[in-house]
Amino acid sequence: VRIRPDADVTDIALLAADSNLYSIPVVDTQDRVLGVVTVDDVLEATIPEDWRRREPHFARGRAMRPRNSPSTP
């Protein structure tokens, strides 16, 4: 499994999910490795920036709940 540098992020996400991979090598036309794309890279490219600026969360049971900060009771 490998991708080219011009691969579409949607195709990369589907390939990673279908192949159960956390990273995929990026290769040139002669199959030389240029780098890797990780699931984190795909998420960063697809999740809107305003979603990334939310309050930090931590797991509690089955739900994600906001952390209490000094300014929050």
* Confidence (pLDDT) at 30: 97
Q: What is the domain extent for residue 53?
A: 9-65
In a domain, 43, yes or no: yes
In a domain, 72, yes or no: no
* Confidence (pLDDT) at 64: 45
Spatial separation of the C-alpha atoms in residues 3 and 34, rounded to whole Å: 10
Burial classification of residue 13, based on how many CB atoms lie within 10 Å of its CB (0-12 exposed, 13-18 middle, 19 or more buried)? middle
pTM of structure: 0.65
- For residue 37, the domain's CATH number is 3.90.1280
In the predicted structure, residue 6 carries a pLDDT above the cut 50? yes
For 29-68, how does the pLDDT look when each residue is reduced to its tens digit (9 = 90+)? 999 999 999 999 998 888 887 776 666 555 455 544 455 5
The mean pLDDT of 2-13, rounded to a whole number, is: 94
Spatial separation of the C-alpha atoms in residues 4 and 62, rounded to whole Å: 38
In a domain, 73, yes or no: no
Spatial separation of the C-alpha atoms in residues 39 and 12, rounded to whole Å: 9
Spatial separation of the C-alpha atoms in residues 47 and 3, rounded to whole Å: 21
